[in-house]
Amino acid sequence: MIVSALQMQPASCNKEKNLEQISQAARSASATGANLLVTPEMSVTGYAIWNDIRRMAEPRDGFISAALQKLTREMNLAITAGMPELDGGEVFNTAICALPSGDIHFYRKCHLFGADERAAFHQGAQPSEIFEVGGVKAGLLICYDVEFPEWTRTLALAGAELMIVPTALPKSAANERVSRLMIPTRALENQCTIIYAGLCGSENALEYQGGTCIAGPGGEDLARAGAGPALITATIERQETSGGYGDPYLNDRRPDLYHALVNTDSDRDV
């Protein structure tokens, strides 16, 4: 299975221009034989659009979903993108994965980062469903979600061999370590491949880290972008995502010892 990840500079509040960037990347990815293209968090609208979130938000059956479904059929590859989703009176930070079959999967970000996100979005409350891309079982996370080992392990235990993670990582020394150290670690400890696709450049005074990478189940970099716009591609061998690769962490777990992880009374007040 061939997978691609787009690192892009967003056009703030310009759906058509961002979709054109995604379309160009899809054409390039399709030409390499890719089965999947992953684009960043809020890639269709821009991320740092706090005063315009509600104006940019759409329901699941809106323009953005239709445009992605049309593109994925034309290019014959799955495409993941991000948008603000409007559901009733609430707005969610949502990732979409559209498949050439016509199926479409949605995931709402569950771990919101910082005051701006918490003011703009309602938090999700469900893990991603597991679905197949190119014969590989996949699940969705968004940015900050992947930094919680409990949440990535939840997907791994549900059968995910591939974790698809759109991100919009703000630039900082600490966040540089997320891409360089944490993403490979999450892949290694869950014996999966992680596609981490980020925004780059700047938007409305927010500078992005980039950090786009594809990490294999041994914690190795399969592909990694530099600082600017890029399309990276890697080949995933399914036998490397289906267990038996490196240390058997999932098989050797001791759930009987981990009661504190699900005992909310033991959590610290924060």
Q: What are phi and psi of 206, to 5 degrees?
A: -100, 125
Sign of CA dihedral 260, 265, 266, 270: positive
Residue 97, both tokens: 């994965």
90 flagged as catalytic: no
Catalytic pick from 58, 85, 97, 109? 109
Give the C-alpha separation, 179 to 230, whole Å: 16
Give the C-alpha separation, 40 to 212, whole Å: 9
200 flagged as catalytic: no
Which residue shows structure tokens 């014969």? 135
Catalytic pick from 41, 117, 189, 203? 41
The residues near 191 (Cβ < 8 Å, ≥ 6 apart) are: 156, 217, 241, 243, 245, 246, 248, 249, 250
DSSP state of 209: -
Which residue shows structure tokens 């960043």? 40
DSSP state of 9: -
CA distances from 35 to 20, 87, 140, 155, 163 (A): 19, 30, 16, 21, 15
Give the C-alpha separation, 209 to 189, whole Å: 24
220 flagged as catalytic: no
Tell me whether strands 78-87 and 90-98 are parallel, antiparallel or unpaired: antiparallel
Catalytic pick from 97, 110, 143, 213? 143
Q: Which residues are catalytic?
A: 41, 109, 143
